[in-house]
Structure 1
Amino acid sequence: MDTIDREIQAPNSGRKHGGWVTFPFITGAVLGLGLAGTGWMANLIIYLIQQFNVNAIDAAQVSNIVNGGSSLFPIVGAIIADSFLGCFSVISLFSSISLLGTVFIALTATLKSLRPTPCNGGLGSFCKDPSWVQFLVLYAGIALGSMGLGGTRFTLATMGANQFDNPQHQGIFFNWCFFSQYAASAVGATALVYIEDNLSWGLGFGLSVAANLLALLIFLLGNRFYLHDKPQGSPFLDIVRVMVAAFRKRNFSLSPMADDYYNPITVEGAPPNKAFRFLNRASLKAEGDIKTDGSGTIAKPWRLCSVQQVEDLKTLVRILPLWSSSIFLSTPVAIHNSLTVLQALNMDRHLGQHLKIPAGSILVIEIVACAFFLTLIDRFLWLTWQNLTRKSPSPLQRIGVGHVLNVLAMAVSALVESKRLKMVHHHDRDQSQPRSSMLALWLVPQLSLVGIGEAFHYPGQVSLYYQEFPASLRSTATAMIALTIGIAFYLGTAIIDLVRRVTSWLPDNINNGRLDNVYWMLTVVGVLNFGYYLACSRSYKYQNVEKQVDADVNYTYG
């Protein structure tokens, strides 16, 4: 602690900038942007249904697309930061984009001319569709908002870690950074959503605007203290170069001699290994590939790559099957989150006589369960495991537990929905009995299981990728997780659309459908995917087994 205090008091000691003096500025930006984003994203489904007359399933689809976009844009932000602008410029740019988008969304809630006429008596047949101008302003705001939040989500964490040389201090920063994200999400999904549902949509979205603006100002105020790293180039560009170079030399014969392959003069010469041999041609030297000035550097970057760059790409290829299983692990969760909000909308959300839980706040149960079990796992379960087995649980074992818990969550969801539909249909058959809605608290078990599953499989994925990826691709590990989540949301959107086309399970009014069958379908998909994961994990061999560590990951990227 004394070391941290000294670094706060003397941030320029040994370095021009950086250190703990930057912590309040970066964490303040994390809190503000997280609060702003959750303030409108958590309640987007309800807003579309109640204020824009969008039917329930279409609103859930829009929500999935928005969540997918905010999960894919971190990759875009990371590539731009690494290759062109640096972290500070990217965060400033995307925070401004997020602010503009949030302003557009707030305007739709404030100006009546930007919203359609409310439904007459809540009947769908008397609802007026929004005009193209109203849709344009709304979807422009949603697109800009999700783009801006996605572009800053992981770049802020990267920039914060760059302020420290000490790995221990980096770990402390990461813990507080992602705890701040959880805290902001919890407040946004409860306080702001409550204001939107019970006081004013304009006020709730206006507070999101204020939080985003405050986050941007706090971040900019810390500029004089930040350590600004220069762009070093994106590893994604190297990956593309290897593939292009291998294709261009597809007719070359491979050589068994190490000297025939390119290694920088500072690296001991070694031939590429025999796995995925067709990629080895990318590092095979040919006439004109090396500069003639005696520097030994590459003259044609798109015709020749180093052996290490080739091996880095092979690492990605080896881990792709495991990574693909994570897509189908996250897809049921993406579908479940949007449909659970629709369930809550049709259930009794009262706590006592006066307090009613907003439907959009129901997912905070998942956040709380994940955060609580992250602490429990780190401080108790893994220690118990180590005492019993004399070794740490592997990342693959952690991910496997997450698979099992998610399958259980889908099964519990199906059982709860089946019970809810029975209550609805029983009332429809016997109108003499008073209508009795199922309590929304019945959703707690399924949401808790999803949250606990995330506490296992997301940190497990972080540990696996960071352990297995070479140092040059460590930032890619984070991008792989973000890419998984983004693809899962879009795949979930496609699956829901397919279910609507070929079945009658998801009508506009879920009380007339069979949402329980959708959950049973996701349970079957989860079981099959778990089998696929087991096959992949059994055939996978750790590349860095001698460096395998018990990664103390107390955070999750989602």
Structure 2
Amino acid sequence: MEIHSIEEESEMTQEKSSRIRKGGFRTLPFILANESFEKVASYGLLPNMIIYLLVDYHMSFTKGTNIILIWSAATNFLPIVGAFLADSFLGRFLTIFLGSIISLMGMILLWLTTMIRDVKPPLCDPRNPSTCKSPTPIQYTLLYSAFAFMSIGAGGVRPCSLAFGADQIDTKDVTKRERRLESFFGWYYSMAIMGVMIAITAIVYIQDHHGWRVGFGIPVILMFISTLSFVVAYPLYYKMKVEKSLFTSLCQVIYVAWKNRRIELPNSVDGSWYNKNDANVTKPTDNLRFLNKACTLSIAHNTTDAIAKDQWIVCTVDQVEELKALIKVIPLWSSCIMLSVANSQTTFPVLQARAMDRHITSGFEIPAASFSFFTIVSIMVWVILYDRAILPLLSEIQGKPVYISVKLRMGAGLVCSIVALVISAIVEHVRKNKAIENGFLNNPQGVISMSALWLIPQHVLSGLADALNIIGQNEFYYTEFPKSMSSVAMALYMLGAAFASLLASLLLSTVNDLTKGHGKDSWVSTNINKAQYEKYYWLLGVMSCINLLYYVVCSWRYRSSVGKTVVEGNKTSDPGVELGSTS
């Protein structure tokens, strides 16, 4: 034990010495550059992708949208895998580096599909679909490989950039460290939003006016700059050692609770529960009591050495409470998935905008895929107004500080999403009737005189729904979870977005299969003037209303975590009893 302590002390001394020489603010510009260029490159490919698949790969709207939804699902799910690998095996630097390289490979593959004629079906007249050939299996393989590489790469970069930047902040002054972290977080989110805005405006504009070769080539260059800017500062970075991840800790609780399922729970308040070394003695909460068996000290644990040698024998009370906190929020989390399903309908508005008058002046028109710009702007405007105007005004009216509860904001976001769907259905109904009146029933490429600015309200309301619900979700998880689980908030939202993309794909395919046949086009036909997308929007609206009721029930049933019972005056003091870190 003494030798072990000397070794640990030596390692800590070396680590502190290394940290003095490395890290600091000088490394942050390289990390921010990596994040910003990656955002511009990756998000610049998404808005117009449905047009590329329809025109160059001769896909139907349903198939093209399903491919994009599955790609989005993979891109949202893999960061959870990336975070686990970074925390448990690879470390954050190596995970970001490998993710950047793999993303670059995916973008190069996608760019090659624009440069090599044989990797796509031959050109044809889209107004005569019978002349258009479908892609071959090899052509599909190259396209899907590009999407797969980009999703895997995003899984390495996105969950680690913010945490890796925070690792570089080095100061013993807690107040100064918090101030520097706040500054870094502000710059990080500002650069990320700026990157997305550049992607959905400048990159989309280039694709529309200079073609796919240039439009897909620029993201390749930007991703190369992103990777290079990150790697060039390698000697300066402070790289934390890999530790056991929270995922491993949660698996331990499940395993030990199952292994001890036949053990009766003790009635004792203090001595029968396993706590961390030098921590206040606590007992677990009474909800989900079967999990308490994971932190029960039974007769088999008669020596602390046995516990210290095998971390899968017994868990701490903190580990058990972390898993309980996660299980408790699952109903509320699931009630917010429908909002992501509604907001994942990003492909059809692009087709809508292409068929409407997008001119701002006689010489300039908004790119069809750039209307999502109004979604991003509405999020930014709400965040600023809420913090700087709405809360101060309400506080002044009430004569005391006012705080709008997180669950109320989350519910308001769901309501905004429903209103956005209703407006979308009405606008599409009007647009289609005008297109038919103008003789464009068989010409989905025809542009009507109706202004595309009528699409702005639904985008603004979608952004407001995101600002209220998604930001509220992250705040809710952060306040309800123990501090050791603060990184789980974003992971939970991304997991929900992944499920939402898969559900949206399943819903789209089901509607397409059920509504076509007998010589009729489906509700989601590629010919938007023969389709009935307004009915699809009404269906989403009805499902969202049912989901709102489900959310109200989940919100009413949810009870905030009350914390663990602390047994005053008692501490665990036996050295070596600690069962690993839950971070």
Instruction: Compute the TM-score of the two structures, normalised by the length of structure 1.
Output: 0.90
Shift of 1:150: 3.4
1:241 aligns with 2:252: yes
Aligned to 1:387: 396
Shift of 1:227: 2.0
Aligned to 1:366: 375
Counterpart contact for 1:265–1:296, Cα < 8 Å: no
Counterpart contact for 2:341–2:504, Cα < 8 Å: yes
Match among 525, 535, 544 for residue 517 of structure 1: 535
Aligned to 1:399: 410
Match among 84, 92, 99 for residue 79 of structure 1: 84
3-state secondary structure, aligned to 2:282: coil
After superposition, the Cα gap between the structure-2 partners of 1:271 and 1:453, relative to the gap in structure 1 and judged at 3 Å, is same
Counterpart contact for 2:356–2:448, Cα < 8 Å: no
Structure 2 Cα separation of the partners of residues 53 and 368 of structure 1: 33
Aligned to 1:356: 365
Q: What do residues 275-320 of structure 1 show as CA deviations (whole Å, max 9, x unaligned)?
A: 1111111112345557x4x557444433421111111111111111
Aligned to 1:272: 284
3-state secondary structure, aligned to 1:365: helix
Structure 2: gaps of 5 or more residues = 1-16, 171-176, 516-521, 565-583
Give the 5 Å matches for 1:30-41: 30-41=35-46
Judge which range, 535-544 or 150-159, deviates more.
Answer: 535-544
3-state secondary structure, aligned to 1:200: helix
3-state secondary structure, aligned to 1:351: strand
Counterpart contact for 1:248–1:303, Cα < 8 Å: no
Task: Name the amino acid aligned to 1:484.
Answer: G
1:535 aligns with 2:546: no
Match among 178, 193, 202 for residue 204 of structure 2: 193
Give the 5 Å matches for 1:221-232: 221-232=232-243
1:488 aligns with 2:500: yes
Aligned to 2:225: 214
3-state secondary structure, aligned to 1:384: helix
Task: Name the amino acid aligned to 2:223.
Answer: N
Shift of 1:123: 2.0
Give the 5 Å matches for 1:25-174: 25-120=30-125, 122-164=127-169, 166-174=177-185
Structure 2 Cα separation of the partners of residues 27 and 427 of structure 1: 50
Task: Name the amino acid aligned to 2:31.
Answer: I
Structure 2 Cα separation of the partners of residues 385 and 151 of structure 1: 42
Structure 1 Cα separation of the partners of residues 126 and 134 of structure 2: 15
Q: What do residues 117-157 of structure 1 show as CA deviations (whole Å, max 9, x unaligned)?
A: 11235421111111222111111011111221232113111
Aligned to 1:8: none
Aligned to 2:13: none
Structure 2 Cα separation of the partners of residues 509 and 544 of structure 1: 55
Counterpart contact for 1:468–1:544, Cα < 8 Å: no
Structure 2 Cα separation of the partners of residues 142 and 265 of structure 1: 47
Structure 1 Cα separation of the partners of residues 469 and 43 of structure 2: 23
1:19 aligns with 2:24: yes
Structure 2 Cα separation of the partners of residues 545 and 285 of structure 1: 21
Structure 1 Cα separation of the partners of residues 123 and 181 of structure 2: 51
3-state secondary structure, aligned to 1:261: coil
Counterpart contact for 2:73–2:497, Cα < 8 Å: yes
After superposition, the Cα gap between the structure-2 partners of 1:146 and 1:14, relative to the gap in structure 1 and judged at 3 Å, is closer
Match among 319, 338, 345 for residue 329 of structure 2: 319
3-state secondary structure, aligned to 1:15: helix
Judge which range, 370-379 or 443-452, deviates more.
Answer: 370-379
After superposition, the Cα gap between the structure-2 partners of 1:535 and 1:107, relative to the gap in structure 1 and judged at 3 Å, is same
Task: Name the amino acid aligned to 2:529.
Answer: N
3-state secondary structure, aligned to 1:35: helix
Task: Name the amino acid aligned to 1:516.
Answer: E
Counterpart contact for 1:424–1:437, Cα < 8 Å: no
Cα root mean square deviation, aligned? 2.3
Aligned to 2:193: 182
After superposition, the Cα gap between the structure-2 partners of 1:297 and 1:244, relative to the gap in structure 1 and judged at 3 Å, is closer
Structure 1 Cα separation of the partners of residues 232 and 447 of structure 2: 56
Aligned to 2:343: 333
Aligned to 1:5: none
3-state secondary structure, aligned to 2:71: helix
Structure 2 Cα separation of the partners of residues 37 and 108 of structure 1: 16
Judge which range, 109-118 or 92-101, deviates more.
Answer: 109-118
3-state secondary structure, aligned to 1:270: strand
The structure with the largest alpha-carbon Rg is 2
Counterpart contact for 1:349–1:356, Cα < 8 Å: yes
1:448 aligns with 2:460: yes
Task: Name the amino acid aligned to 1:319.
Answer: V
- Structure ranking higher on relative contact order (CA contacts 8 Å, 6+ apart): 2
Shift of 1:416: 0.7
Structure 1 Cα separation of the partners of residues 405 and 562 of structure 2: 13
Counterpart contact for 1:264–1:296, Cα < 8 Å: no
Shift of 1:387: 2.8
1:471 aligns with 2:471: no
Counterpart contact for 1:99–1:212, Cα < 8 Å: yes
Structure 2 Cα separation of the partners of residues 430 and 250 of structure 1: 66
Structure 2 Cα separation of the partners of residues 150 and 368 of structure 1: 26
Give the 5 Å matches for 1:251-270: 251-257=262-268, 258-270=270-282
Counterpart contact for 2:357–2:447, Cα < 8 Å: no
Q: What do residues 252-278 of structure 1 show as CA deviations (whole Å, max 9, x unaligned)?
A: 111112322222332232222211111
Aligned to 2:430: 419
Structure 1 Cα separation of the partners of residues 365 and 491 of structure 2: 39
Structure 2 Cα separation of the partners of residues 65 and 118 of structure 1: 26
After superposition, the Cα gap between the structure-2 partners of 1:383 and 1:500, relative to the gap in structure 1 and judged at 3 Å, is same
Structure 1 Cα separation of the partners of residues 447 and 141 of structure 2: 40
Counterpart contact for 1:289–1:298, Cα < 8 Å: no
After superposition, the Cα gap between the structure-2 partners of 1:242 and 1:430, relative to the gap in structure 1 and judged at 3 Å, is closer
Structure 1 Cα separation of the partners of residues 496 and 475 of structure 2: 15
3-state secondary structure, aligned to 1:199: helix
Instruction: Compute the TM-score of the two structures, normalised by the length of structure 2.
Output: 0.86
Counterpart contact for 2:440–2:529, Cα < 8 Å: no
Structure 2 Cα separation of the partners of residues 386 and 16 of structure 1: 47
3-state secondary structure, aligned to 1:154: coil
